[in-house]
């Protein structure tokens, strides 16, 4: 029982801390919470949390298979870049409109927020890479063992940690908007800047990997 709780704690801690840096999903959840309501933001977070837990479960079963899916991961990286870039443009457009209360064009739709969160997480390759790395470390350190009860505890901790992390953004963003006049307009500019920076980092990572692959090929020849 102690081992199970320990694994749960590791999953929760890693997931919570991993949710705190500014990223596509937590910033989108915050934006939904501000421009719509907290309930819709929580639905969005639950959708992304569910997919993240599924990804972790798959990675625990088929780590070797995931390593071989280079083409799939490359496509997902480009899709992620396109979506983040669109979110950046949408945020800047929303901020430039009178009053700054307009919605980001990507979020201005009738799609169920739970499904939107699930889709956003599903096409985000960072989730796969992040948990592949941490799970490998925990296996190497003998903290996590290939036992179903440990897997279930680990995944439960991950889900709760991700939800708590998103709640920090949802309720924190809501608090700031309620306290500062015209804060939605400023926040749209800030969010646009965050998405722009994220898109540039994503693009840099893509080209860095491509350059490394070309270099390795040249060395082999």
- Average pLDDT along the chain, 221 residues, taken 10 residues at a time: 89 88 80 87 94 86 59 66 70 62 61 90 77 78 85 93 92 75 63 73 73 52 52
pLDDT at 126: 73
21 domain residue, yes or no: yes
Range of the domain at 18: 2-213
Rounded Cα gap, residues 203 and 216, in angstroms: 20
84 domain residue, yes or no: yes
pLDDT at 11: 92
Q: Supply the Cα-derived Rg of the chain in whole angstroms.
A: 19
Helix, strand, coil percentages, rounded to 5, for the chain: 85, 0, 15
Total-model pTM: 0.68
CA proximity to 102, closest of 29, 174, 23, 31: 31
pLDDT at 49: 93
Total domains in the chain come to 1
109 domain residue, yes or no: yes
219 domain residue, yes or no: no
Q: Is there a contact between 88 and 199 (Cβ–Cβ < 8 Å)?
A: yes
10 domain residue, yes or no: yes
């Amino acid at each position: 029982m102690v081992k199970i709780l320990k694994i749960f704690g590791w999953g929760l801690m890693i997931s919570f801390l991993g949710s705190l840096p500014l990223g596509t999903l937590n910033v989108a959840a915050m934006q939904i919470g501000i421009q719509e309501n907290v309930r819709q933001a929580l639905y969005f977070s639950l959708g992304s949390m569910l997919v993240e837990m599924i990804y972790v479960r798959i990675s625990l079963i088929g780590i070797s298979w995931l390593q071989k899916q280079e083409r799939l991961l490359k496509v997902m990286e480009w899709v992620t870049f396109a979506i983040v870039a669109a979110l950046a443009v949408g945020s800047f457009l929303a901020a430039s409109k009178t009053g700054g209360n307009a919605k980001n064009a990507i979020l201005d739709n009738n799609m169920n927020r739970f499904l939107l969160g699930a889709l956003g997480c599903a096409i985000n390759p960072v989730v796969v890479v992040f948990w592949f790395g941490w799970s490998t470390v925990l296996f190497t350190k003998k903290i996590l063992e290939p036992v179903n009860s440990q897997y279930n505890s680990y995944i439960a901790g991950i889900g709760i940690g991700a939800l708590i992390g998103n709640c920090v953004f949802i309720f924190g963003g809501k608090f700031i908007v309620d306290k500062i006049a015209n804060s939605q307009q400023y926040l749209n500019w800030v969010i646009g800047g965050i998405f722009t920076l994220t898109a540039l980092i994503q693009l840099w990572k893509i080209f860095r990997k491509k350059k490394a692959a070309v270099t390795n090929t040249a060395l082999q020849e």
